Chains A and B, each alone.
Chain A
Amino acid sequence: MTRVLTALKLACLEIVRNRTALLLILVLPGLFETLIYVTTPNRVVSFDLPSLGAEESIDVSARAEAFVFMAVVAVAFIAGFAGLTLMQGSIRAQKRLVLNGFPIYQLFLSRLLALLLLIALVSVYTGCIVEAIIHSDRFAGIVTGLALTGAVYGAYGLLIGALWKRSLESVLSIVLLTNIDVGWLQNPIFYTEATNRAVIHYLPGYFPSQVAMVSAFTEASIANATLRAALYFLVLLLTAGAFAYRKLRAFA
């Protein structure tokens, strides 16, 4: 346990001292929300939320919808990049640690805990920004949606970090999926007009963004979407763990 706590503390320091990660954490949520405030009109838009059933449509201001949507995007970007950094940034030093007797599962656990702490922090403060603007009655639900988005994309970042050696391809993988999934297809306004919705349901951002959107604009239950998002996170995490083990294992 002492070993995990030591590694956890130092993994947190690694993230805090990484200038790019710190910049993303501090700037991205505020920047995205400011851009929405400046560019998005306040007219009412109508969209579907698939978690609520096919016949139910939501009417809210385009700006409020965009605030929640972009908060999800910001958390996904930050978590994906943080996961990637924690796994890939020091992969050779991590392998050396394992050769020196550090159990892989403890090392992976310490870096996962550091990632989850960061996601919790970012989700709460991004949720506070959203709450301050849209005055939702379900702050906890919005934060849960953001945290689940972070967990899913953080696990995806860990997986990419464990799979690929080169940072350029890895960063591209994070940016591409985040952009296509939560940055585009999970936008309820796009989803409402989409011709093949089934594809969108299989993407990692689907359930977490549903939790955030349903919480922000309705009183409906988020239990089902929360559970499925958590399952998605677990599957990605186990896959990342398997690839990390393959990369870090010692043969002595």
Chain B
Amino acid sequence: MTVPLQVAEISKSFARKSVLTNISLAVPGGSLVGIVGENGVGKSTLLKIIVGAIRPDSGSVTRAGSAGYCPQEPELFEELTVLENFMLYAAAHGLPRDVWKKRADDLLGKLSFRQYEHSMVKTLSGGTRQKLNLAIALLQDPDVLVLDEPYAAFDWQTYLKFWELAEELRGIGKSLLIVSHLVYDKQKFDQIYELRSGSVERTQ
């Protein structure tokens, strides 16, 4: 089985306080992997290391293929519209206009926020911002999706749509790594890792 994402012996400390110690995990192709743990155990730090936002003190991350990252707090250009945000992130990936327009249109429909495509991000509700935050991660059709609490601000309908989308992506061979402080739907995951006191343990 191919392993598009491999994390090997990652350690990270902040101001001499150890947050992560020798974390290793693998995300196989076409799988849905969850990372759970209480608040403050270092879940978001681990994800930031995985996507390259911060540097680990030791260890390595190996990615085969492209990765899409959805941060916990929406990281968007507030003064730009939804479509303009898509345009800018599409420019980052070097996507041609017809490709990203089609992809954005598809995501606007799937996540049910097409009516906001010309609205500025600063005027959007928390849930709609989170939809855009997630859609940006999906824009380039990545091989691996790294999602940090992606459904925290979603209403029930959107939450269900999120899982439909996740299942669909897994079905076409994409890998998803989802961080949450709570996992309501354990049966939806192929693997679950629990972060506790800086170390990780596979619980499912």
- Min Cβ gap B82→A in Å is 13
Interface string of A14-48 (1 = CB under 8 A from B): 10011000000000000000000000000000000
A250 interface residue per 8 A CB criterion: yes
User: Number of residues in A with C-beta < 8 Å to the partner?
Assistant: 24
Question: Which residue of B55, B78, B84, B94 contacts A3 across the interface (Cβ within 8 Å)?
Answer: B94
Interface string of B65-78 (1 = CB under 8 A from A): 00001010101111
The answer to whether A250 touches B53 (Cβ under 8 A) is yes
By a CB distance below 8 angstroms, the chain B residues around A18 are 79
By a CB distance below 8 angstroms, the chain A residues around B71 are 92, 96
Closest residue of A by beta carbon distance from B121: A93
- Min Cβ gap A252→B in Å is 3
The answer to whether A92 touches B92 (Cβ under 8 A) is no
By a CB distance below 8 angstroms, the chain B residues around A97 are 88-89, 92
Q: Which of B76, B79, B120 has the most chain A CB within a 10 Å cutoff?
A: B79
Interface string of B106-120 (1 = CB under 8 A from A): 000000000000001
User: Number of residues in B with C-beta < 8 Å to the partner?
Assistant: 28
The answer to whether A7 touches B88 (Cβ under 8 A) is yes
B35 interface residue per 8 A CB criterion: no
Whole-angstrom CA separation of A18 from B51 in the bound complex = 31
B87 interface residue per 8 A CB criterion: yes
Whole-angstrom CA separation of A102 from B88 in the bound complex = 9
Residues in B2-33 with C-beta less than 8 Å from chain A = none
Interface string of B40-68 (1 = CB under 8 A from A): 00000000010111110000010100000
Q: Which of A7, A89, A251 has the most chain B CB within a 10 Å cutoff?
A: A251
By a CB distance below 8 angstroms, the chain B residues around A92 are 71, 73, 75
By a CB distance below 8 angstroms, the chain A residues around B186 are none
By a CB distance below 8 angstroms, the chain B residues around A10 are 77, 80, 84, 87-88
- Min Cβ gap A8→B in Å is 11
Interface string of A96-125 (1 = CB under 8 A from B): 111111100000000000000000000000
- Min Cβ gap A3→B in Å is 5
B160 interface residue per 8 A CB criterion: no
The 3 lowest CB-CB distance pairs between A and B, nearest first, are A252-B52, A102-B92, A100-B92
